[in-house]
Amino acid sequence: MSKEVVKEKSMVLQKEMLAGLFKELSQAHETGKKVVYTFVPGNLSELIHAFDMLPVYPEINALQSGMRKNSGAFIREAEKAGHSEDVCTYVKCDIGMMLNGNIGPTGEKLPPPDLLLLSYTGCFTFMKWFENLERYYPGVPVAMLHTPYQEGGKITQEMRDYMVEQLRLEVIPKMEKVSGKKFDERKLAGILENSARAEDLIVKIFDTTKNKPSPIDAYFAGVYYIGPINTGFRGTPEAVIYYETLYEEILERVRLGLGPITPEGEMEEERFRLVVEGPPNWTSFREFWKLFYDMGAVVVASSYTKVGGMYDYGFRHDPARPLESLGEYCMNCYTNLNLPQRIDLLEKCITEYQADGFLVNSIKSCNSFSAGQLLMMRHLEERLGIPVGFIESDLVDPRYFSYSNIKNRLDSFFQMLGQRKVIKGQLEIV
């Protein structure tokens, strides 16, 4: 018998925020609000808000459909329409959902886009995705923001200038035309102030995993924590309130020495601390989490929570440099980093959060995440001498989640982690 999930105040707040957004979207036709379809990595939420438009994130819809067990049917629908088995399953889920009447995850109909804002970072599939959407919504304008990949491992002034120029000449004029409103840089700066406040808080929240036991799980619960900041609420006062509330709740857990809350109940004993690379599987999310819970494994840092923006190294949206900081934000997203940067970042996480092991969940249909993961794993193993594990699943295609295979591999990984503790004298041999 599954237990009831304990709902904290922040969870209720988040649920209300999302329900409100989907309600607003369902009423967009009546209210006359314009709708922008865009992506999470490198999302320009603040700019969308500056024009009083509403965002739709197809990846979020897909993952929500996955968690609600609807994605399998949508994917099959898209495959019937000619999309190959190897295509990103977020794309196919989104297209399948559209072909089924575009009913969003909350059961309300999503409005068609007034603008397709392609501010992709590190994922070239996004381009193909919106090429498809352009065909489904003929005549809808497309604004493309080409984010330069950090091939050289740093952001140069030329890259900043290139981003600002695209924002000024390509993105903003199209947004002005669609919304019928003039760009107001001061309004944007005000929104960015809220973004920076939320970003300060989210860094503090994910830093609480330095405590032992960690009060939160930075992967399974972390995907909920990044929800508001990644689903169009960054820059809003609601997001700041949400993160203040969440931070207070977590600090209370630290004060009481409590471990993370999970759907199975509170984690009572923290046996292993992990850093995880790659997105989670959404179709069997709870089962997947339980495999970790059963072993007392807590994720203290994950790369996935940095995919919609990375604030660890001090980047904040800056009201004093609005467009430049929007550009920097896009270029700083995790999948826009080169492999050595990603390895360094993961090494820092493993060291600073005192992780016992490193695990990769390689996603079958996500090239932007999966490319290079074996190399990254090997480097981290060599540099740090920690146990590493590799499992495979998918984002929202239930056909690629093999419970037994994942369990077998996780069992071995956890056994190895246990053995290392025996060697270090932290655990008894039997």
Partner 1 sequence: MTGQFYTMGVDVGGSYVKAVLVDYSDHPQIIDKHTEKIRKRNPADVAEELVNFLLQKNGLQYEDIAYLASTGEGEMVTRKKGHFYSMTTHSKGGEFLYPGAKTVVDMGALYVRAIKIGEKARVLDYKMTGQCASGSGQFIENISRYLGLSIEEVGEVSMQSNNPEVPSGICAVLAETDVINMVSRGIATPNIIKGIHLSVSGRIIKLLTALKAESPVMLAGGLAVNKGMVQAISELLKESKYGYEIVTHPDAIYSGAIGAALWGGFRHIKLSKEKHAFA
Among 156, 354, 408, 426, binds partner 1 (CB under 8 A): 408
Write down the number of H helices and E strands in the chain.
Answer: 19, 10
Number of chain positions touching partner 1 (CB under 8 A): 20
Contact indicator for 145, 118 with CB cutoff of 8 Å: yes
Interface residue with partner 1 among 402, 421, 424, 427 (CB under 8 A) is 402
Q: What are the helix (H) ranges across 33-124?
A: 45-50, 58-67, 71-80, 89-99
Residue number with CB closer to partner 1 (405 or 426): 405
Regarding 423 and contact with partner 1 (CB under 8 A), the answer is yes
d(CA 283, CA 288): 9
With contacts defined by CB under 8 A, name the span among 109-117, 154-162, 258-266, 404-412 that binds partner 1.
404-412
Task: Indicate the residue among 1 and 430 with the shorter CB distance to partner 1.
Answer: 430
Q: Which is nearer to partner 1, 231 or 284 (CB)?
A: 284
426 binds partner 1 (CB under 8 A): no
User: Which residue lies nearer to partner 1 by CB, 328 or 394?
Assistant: 394
Q: Give the separation between CA 417 and CA 191, rounded to whole angstroms.
A: 45
Q: Which stretch binds partner 1 (CB under 8 A): 125-133, 141-149, 257-265, 400-408?
A: 400-408
Concatenated DSSP letters of 355-388: -SEEEEEEETT-HHHHTTHHHHHHHHHHHH---E
Residues 6+ apart with CB under 8 A from 9: 245, 249
Closer CB to partner 1, 287 or 324, in the complex: 287
Q: Output the smallest distance, CB 356 to partner 1, in A.
A: 14
Half-sphere exposure (CA, 13 Å, Cβ side) for 51?
27
Q: Which of residues 370-399 bind partner 1 (CB under 8 A)?
A: 387, 390-392
Q: How far is the CB of 284 from partner 1 (least distance, A)?
A: 15
Per-residue buried b or exposed e for 48-72, using 16+ beta carbons within 10 Å of the residue's own CB: bbbbebbbbbbbbbbbbbbbeebbb
| CA 189 vs CA 47, 157, 317, 325, 398: distances in Å | 10, 21, 9, 10, 42
Q: Which residues contact 16 (CB under 8 A, 6 or more apart)?
A: none
- Half-sphere exposure for 112 (CA within 13 Å, toward CB): 12
Q: Looking at 187, 383, 409, 421, which residue binds partner 1 (CB under 8 A)?
A: 409
418 binds partner 1 (CB under 8 A): yes
Least distance in angstroms from the C-beta of 386 to partner 1: 10
**CB atoms < 10 A from the CB of 152, how many?**
11
Identify which range of 19-27, 34-42, 127-135, 414-422 contacts partner 1 by CB under 8 A: 414-422
Three-state SS for 40?
Answer: coil
Nearer to partner 1, 49 or 364 (CB): 364
How many other C-beta atoms can be found within 10 angstroms of the C-beta atom of residue 399? 13
Using rule CB under 8 A, residue 422 touches partner 1: yes
- What is the nearest approach in angstroms of partner 1 to the Cβ of residue 392? 5
The span of 34-42, 52-60, 318-326, 403-411 binding partner 1 (CB under 8 A) equals 403-411
CA 40/CA 32 separation, integer angstroms: 24
Minimum distance from CB of 17 to partner 1 (Å)? Answer: 37
Residues that bind partner 1 (CB under 8 A): 387, 390-392, 402, 404-406, 408-409, 411-412, 415-416, 418-419, 422-423, 429-430
